[in-house]
């Protein structure tokens, strides 16, 4: 992915989350929706180890860092996230 003319290498999971947030910009995205999109192999309870909040937070941290914190991603405590705006200028 290219941001402001600079190449930003994202892992598959980072890209999936970023794509979901951009597609739903300014709308609430639940933790469950993130898990189904980013970790489909672990979305069904009982089939694999559940995805914890620290995994989602880690993924968001890496995305923010790679984009130089140009994304305003609001945390709706314990429920999900909202991408408020993109500032790739």
pTM of the model: 0.84
What tens digit of pLDDT does each residue of 28-39 get?
Answer: 999 999 999 999
- The pLDDT of residue 89: 46
What residues make up the domain containing 70? 2-86
Q: Where are the alpha helices (DSSP H) in the chain?
A: 12-23, 31-38, 53-66
CATH number of the domain within which 79 lies: 1.10.10.10
Determine phi and psi for 8, rounding to 5 degrees: -120, 110
Cβ–Cβ under 8 Å, residues 22 and 73: no
User: Which residues are registered as beta bridge partners of 63?
Assistant: none
Return d(Cα 19, Cα 84) in angstroms, integer: 14
Return d(Cα 80, Cα 53) in angstroms, integer: 10
Domain count, the chain: 1
């Amino acid at each position: 992915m290219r941001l402001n003319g600079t190449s930003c290498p994202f892992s598959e999971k980072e890209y999936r989350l970023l794509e979901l947030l951009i597609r739903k910009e300014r709308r609430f995205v639940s933790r469950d929706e993130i898990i189904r999109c980013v970790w489909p192999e672990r979305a069904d309870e009982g089939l694999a180890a559940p995805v914890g909040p620290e995994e989602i937070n880690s993924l968001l941290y890496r995305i923010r860092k790679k984009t130089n914190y140009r994304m305003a991603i609001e945390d709706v405590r314990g429920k999900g996230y909202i991408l408020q705006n993109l500032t790739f200028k």
